[in-house]
Amino acid sequence: MVGLSISQADSTADMELDLHARYFHKGFFAYAAVNGFDTETLSLGVGRMFTITKNVFVDPRIVYNTEDKTTNLGLGFGLRF
């Protein structure tokens, strides 16, 4: 899966574009993302997708940020169509 996120904190801030990708295998996934197409802010991670109902899922993940050199736990919720 490849995705693009567009975000803007408020009307005075610049818009930010983020590119991310996931590769799924048997419920697990590898994750990679870049912030604003800047390869120095690369985030790499692994996680697992759990289906709650037919169209709702939760995906806990561990992500390493190459710019800050930090490891974070993340929890995402989503809808599938």
pLDDT in tens, 14-24: 788 888 899 99
List, in order, residues 6 or more apart from 22 with CB less than 8 Å away: 1, 29, 30, 31, 32
Q: Is the dihedral of CA 7, 21, 3, 50 positive or negative?
A: negative
pTM above 0.95, yes or no: no
Pairing of strands 2-7, 16-25: antiparallel
pLDDT at 75 over 80: yes
pLDDT at 80 over 90: no
End-to-end Cα distance, the chain: 14
pLDDT of 72: 92
pLDDT of 67: 86
